[in-house]
Structure 1
């Protein structure tokens, strides 16, 4: 087993002492990097890039090679690999994003939904995890991930992204039994999928509840949070090794107190949540990840530096903070602006970890 050369991220997840605040970025391997765009062109299209372990390994390592100050890597994949493996027919339309050929609208189709064979239908992801882990040679930890059952269900029912969620909300209010069936089936699939990633060697896992914030207060407590709880508790029972977890709900600042009891080791914050208030609510019970507005990386270096410092000041002294964006990095981000953020985090955060 390769020894990690940099375990600052994992220590922060466990709220252990570190000398600075570790940092990584959601969607850090992506279109803002010219080397990524070159690899994607070589692959032909996005799905071909995702489904080829060699390409997935290449793009996962690209940001680490460019930015030595990154403290974690995340497997290059997509949250929609799971519903694709469930037979819904994922495809991408240029300029429009992901779509499904067979969205779940009819009761008969919903009850035909099956848990995929992870070792067969998602073998390319598991192979990529093993390959990336080997290629990293212990440089930094590797994060595995999945979408939350609610977030996956929005795509599975709406049939595409960028919607107003009216189709799934109509089902939630008029036929909650059908929605719960989808969520239960997807929860089991996600649990098996994340466990396979753990067995393949990831050092931490993250659940992306990208659309949890679209729900009403009671809706979140019925259709999103309970299913993430099931996944987190199941993973702890299934795995021999303790793998730390991060739970991230975009728009989820309203439910911080509820999220604390979900079973994750850290809560991810979007940029709309004040990190100082979040820390006061969460206390020292969990680590906190976040939460720079990705849009600020489009501005000027002095603005980036100022906002990074404001967030670090907001969290304040002590351990258990992982610096990140409040959502994925924009494809329009100048790569050199990422350097400004990383350098500021590493240099400015040291004062908050002084013994």
Structure 2
């Protein structure tokens, strides 16, 4: 959009489109968060969702890692949360410290409590304002990523009432009420589409969909309940942007734990980039996707606790794995962790991770 400063580092966008890059662009999931002392200082005076809903605060936190690691990091991701969608649909979500739903959906009859129609401009306009504000504040240093949670992951939170080790309640819905589950998943997917389109209109330059609980489903159930909604989102975003005369942006799907689905996701999901967790070798993933998509990942976040030598060794190995085969059109990749960074990591060890990526991913 012409009102934004010109982008000075387009490495991420080129890699996401499958283009040859001089090195792998790098960013990390949850890079604006609790491992940073500047985040903890701001968080001490503000509630989590208060920050999400206050564009000035969300922008400040989004910029914190960009300032700290300027020249080393190739993307920013707007500070928000995947659970703003259930909130927009009419559910209360608390953060104490993890997510909690005081009134979860217990039976399909409870779906009547949700808003029949969600006006994302009204309910989630604060995210759009934060994105526009952040794009301007970045001054073109790096691209800005927008995101949402995937329908299955959001569905699980809405029914479980928080995180879960067994997902018994959410899976009971899938197996006992399959048609009602599909209907709710589709409703969530429709909100995701509108939300992501709104983020692009506000200034997001790449979109990522987080299916954090994808690996809790069997391959059959992932195909039946999750894949169709993920495809619905990618198709819907592209169609809406096209109808409004807006250029498409690259889209990334991170279906954690669903490495069994990489082939199908590469062939038919409609995403430009597939994120990998640390439970698959990048060279194996390369063979599976066969150049149809770019890849992102995938170092185990806990390596960041292992010291500089361990970090360097892991990065060196990861880069070598990603670089096997043709680099460029059939092998573009984005360096990242295999999941979000955890709170106890030393920020200087994160700096070392970035420095090692710059060193070992160069072509």
Q: Which of 129, 132, 147 is 1:130 aligned to?
A: 132
Q: Which of the numbers 242, 266, 269 marks the counterpart of 2:276?
A: 269
Measured in 1, the distance between the counterparts of 2:158 and 2:184 equals 9
Q: What is the match of residue 7 of structure 1?
A: 10
Alignment of 1:304-343 (within 5 A): 304-316=311-323, 318-319=327-328, 320-343=332-355
What does residue range 100-249 of structure 1 map to in structure 2 within 5 Å? Answer: 100-113=101-114, 114-239=116-241, 240-249=246-255
Determine if the alignment matches structure 1 residue 23 to structure 2 residue 35.
Answer: no
- Give 5+ residue unaligned stretches, structure 2: none
- Per-residue deviation, residues 74-107 of structure 1 (Å, max 9, x unmatched): 000000000011111111223xx11112211233
TM-score by length of 2: 0.94
CA distance in 1, matches of 2:9, 2:192: 28
Find the aligned partners of 1:106 and 1:3 in 2 and give their Cα distance: 50
- Name the structure 2 match of 1:257: 263
Counterpart CA distance in 1 for 2:117 and 2:164 is 26
8 A Cα contact 1:111 1:181, kept in partner = no
Structure 1 Cα separation of the partners of residues 289 and 117 of structure 2? 35
1:71 and 2:79 correspond: no
Alpha-carbon contact 2:208-2:251 (below 8 Å) kept: yes
1: CA distance, partners of 2:32 / 2:164: 22
Q: Aligned equivalents of 2:248 and 2:197: distance in 1?
A: 12
Partner SS, residue 318 of structure 1: coil
User: Whole-Å Cα distance in 2 between the matches of residues 163 and 345 of structure 1?
Assistant: 33
**How far apart are 1:182 and its partner, in Å?**
1.0
- Alignment correspondent of 2:88: 85
Any conservation in 2 of the 1:115–1:188 contact (CA below 8 Å)?
A: no
d(CA) in 1 for partners of 2:20 and 2:257?
30
* Comparing 147-156 and 11-20, the one that deviates more: 11-20
Cα separation, 1, equivalents of 2:348 and 2:317: 21
CA contact (8 A) 1:60 1:132 kept: yes
Q: State TM-score, norm by structure 1.
A: 0.96
**Structure 1 stretches lacking a partner, 5+ long:** none
Greater shift in the superposed pair: 258-267 or 157-166: 157-166
Who is 1:282 aligned against?
A: 289
Other structure's SS at 1:35 match: helix
- What do the CA deviations read for 1:237-273 (whole angstroms, capped 9, x no partner)? 1112111000001101111101112000000000111
How far apart in 2 are the matches of 1:209 and 1:153?
11
* Contact 2:303 2:310 (8 Å CA) reproduced: yes
For residues 249 and 110 of structure 1, the distance between their equivalents in structure 2, rounded to whole angstroms, comes to 25
Q: Distance in 1 between matches of 2:8 and 2:20?
A: 16
Aligned-partner SS, 1:5: coil
- Structure 2 contact 90–113 (Cα < 8 Å) conserved: no
Matched residue, 1:41:
44
Q: Say which SS state the counterpart of residue 242 (structure 1) adopts.
A: coil
Whether the 8 Å contact between 1:98 and 1:160 is mirrored in structure 2 is yes
Deviation at 1:164, TM superposition (A): 1.4
Q: Is the counterpart of residue 348 in structure 1 residue 345 in structure 2?
A: no
Give the aligned partner of residue 301 of structure 1.
Answer: 308
Helix, strand or coil at the partner of 1:76 = coil
User: What's the offset of the Cα at 1:162?
Assistant: 3.1
| TM-fit CA distance, 1:115 | 3.6
